Amino acid sequence: MRIGVVSDTHNHLPNVARIVALLNGACVERVVHTGDITQAKTLRALAALDAPLFGVFGNNDVERDALVAACAELGHVFVDPPLRVEWAGRRIAVVHDPRELDALALAEVDVALYGHDHRHSIERRSETLCFNPGECAGHLPGHNRVGVLDLATLEAEILRF
């Protein structure tokens, strides 16, 4: 199973349209958003994904009532961090801020996904793959990216735009 990983869209709708096209083109089966959607119209734009959307709320998701209503309307699954799922036999935890990784029992998950700092990072902490796809909100032109993670191999691919 291949999943898309996106973070910190910050309501930058032109980039969200690119993200949807990239992840649909990558034929991912699920998409994870690691927080900072900012406004419900971003969730509506992400509804064009060919895969279901899961995620966590970030520190800039202050319009919570509108975001929760949009998730209910569109069938997206978003929670306060951490989100824990098991897909393709892999235990996955999703948080927003990398400082939240310390509170996770990393030995109990195969993959930890996060965002917040807009910095691409992929590392192993013991046996756990920790992955942040990096900037995608348009704050750093030419450095926008999303990730595709193969859960069979735990290999991560970066799609730049």
Q: Which domains does the chain have, with CATH numbers?
A: 2-160 (3.60.21.10)
Asked whether the beta carbons of 65 and 78 are under 8 A apart, the reply is no
Asked whether the beta carbons of 94 and 110 are under 8 A apart, the reply is no
Asked whether the beta carbons of 118 and 81 are under 8 A apart, the reply is no
- For 84-99, the pLDDT digits (tens) are 999 999 999 999 999 9
Say what the pTM is: 0.96
Instruction: Compute CA distances 41 → 2, 16, 26, 115, 125, whole Å.
Output: 26, 10, 23, 20, 36
Q: Does the pLDDT at position 139 exceed 90?
A: no
Give DSSP secondary structure letters for 103-117.
Answer: GS-GGG-SEEE--SS
- For 4-14, the pLDDT digits (tens) are 999 999 999 99
- Token pair belonging to 66: 């509108």
